[in-house]
């Protein structure tokens, strides 16, 4: 199964990987993770993520994350539009993302988040790109905007809503991202959805360095004492094994299906895989 897995959401540019980024990517390849999708989070890392995707033979998305839009400088959306326009013909640009709404973190300005989210949906429509959306206590509000501003589908990242919300995303052409949270026995709702939603609706992701699976989890006390809790894309096959067990299917079948799902959600991935373009650019 060498190169069989696609990690549809990984922040390889994060500072947590500064000391060993190349080794992290090498471990992922050795584990069978052939392709990563690297979303941006702010206007300050658009160019860095784009360059990293080319250097490592991966894909990327350009967008402004809801946790950071309140700190964006004036003109950030114009900068994003210019970056999308400049990269319009780049086969490694697969989506607008990570965008969305966050209703969990206190102190965020919902109106500002909504303005940035709707503006970025319009950019996705303009450039005919899917979107990668951040969903945290915000599914209904995200869906409301998606019904108003139609885009060509995408991925609902780290999905943790209801079955009704899940199927609403699917009806709008979205796949649902499942990762480390699914590995916790107490995550009953997420595990139930992972086991029972149509398999055609699921994609796999790590969100590395975040959302570590249960075998990497450290309590707050352990982290304060210096214990490490960094997630890596190399964990994806083991996360996939949890999903395969929940659904009672084989790993080869799951790799084929989730790979096809990822390509359906982000169509330019299929071109990268077909052209062998996952090799790093020279």
Summarize the annotated binding site for a divalent metal cation as residue ranges: 9, 11, 98, 134, 157, 207
HSE-CB of 145 using CA atoms within 13 angstroms: 23
Residue ranges for the known binding site are 9, 11, 98, 134, 157, 207
41, two tokens: 């989070």
Rounded distance, CA 134 to CA 13, Å?
A: 18
Strand order of the β-sheet with 33-39 is 5-7, 33-39, 59-61, 93-102, 131-136, 154-157, 174-178, 202-204
Rounded distance, CA 39 to CA 95, Å?
A: 8
Q: Using an 8 Å Cβ cutoff, are 99 and 123 in contact?
A: no
Q: Is 174 helix (H, G, I), strand (E, B) or coil?
A: strand
152, two tokens: 């060509």
Q: Is 259 helix (H, G, I), strand (E, B) or coil?
A: helix
Residue 102: which region, alpha, beta or left (left: phi > 0; alpha: psi -120 to 50)? beta
**Among 78, 86, 10, 99, residue whose Cα is nearest residue 49:** 10
**Among 11, 155, 45, 181, residue whose Cα is nearest residue 94:** 155
* Cα–Cα distances in angstroms (integers) from residue 208 to residues 8, 129, 228, in the given order: 11, 23, 13
**Among 25, 34, 26, residue whose Cα is nearest residue 274:** 34
Q: Is 253 helix (H, G, I), strand (E, B) or coil?
A: helix
């Amino acid at each position: 199964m060498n190169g069989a897995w696609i990690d549809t959401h990984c922040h390889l540019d994060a500072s947590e990987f500064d000391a060993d980024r190349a080794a992290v990517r090498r471990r992922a390849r050795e584990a069978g993770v052939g392709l990563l999708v690297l979303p941006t989070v702010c206007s300050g890392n658009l160019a860095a993520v784009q360059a990293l995707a080319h250097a490592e033979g991966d894909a990327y998305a350009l967008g402004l994350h809801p946790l950071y839009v309140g700190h964006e400088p004036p003109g950030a959306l114009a900068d994003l539009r210019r970056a999308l326009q400049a990269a319009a013909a780049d086969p490694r640009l697969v989506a607008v993302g990570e965008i969305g709404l966050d209703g969990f973190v206190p102190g965020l300005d919902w109106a500002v988040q909504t303005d940035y989210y709707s503006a970025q949906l319009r950019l996705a429509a303009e450039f005919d790109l899917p979107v990668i959306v951040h969903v945290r206590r915000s599914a209904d509000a995200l869906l409301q905007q998606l019904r108003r501003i139609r885009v060509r589908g995408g991925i609902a990242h780290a999905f943790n809503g209801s079955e009704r919300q899940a199927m609403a995303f699917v009806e709008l052409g979205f796949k649902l991202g499942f990762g480390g949270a699914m590995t916790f026995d107490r995550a009953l709702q997420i595990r139930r959805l992972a086991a029972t939603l149509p398999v055609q609706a699921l994609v796999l992701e790590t969100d590395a360095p975040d959302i570590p699976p249960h075998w990497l989890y450290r309590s707050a006390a352990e982290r304060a004492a210096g214990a490490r809790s960094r997630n890596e894309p190399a964990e994806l096959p083991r996360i996939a094994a949890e999903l395969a067990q929940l659904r009672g299917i084989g790993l080869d079948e799951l790799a084929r299906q989730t790979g096809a799902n990822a390509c359906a959600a982000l169509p330019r991935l299929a071109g990268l895989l077909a052209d062998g373009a996952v090799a790093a650019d020279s």
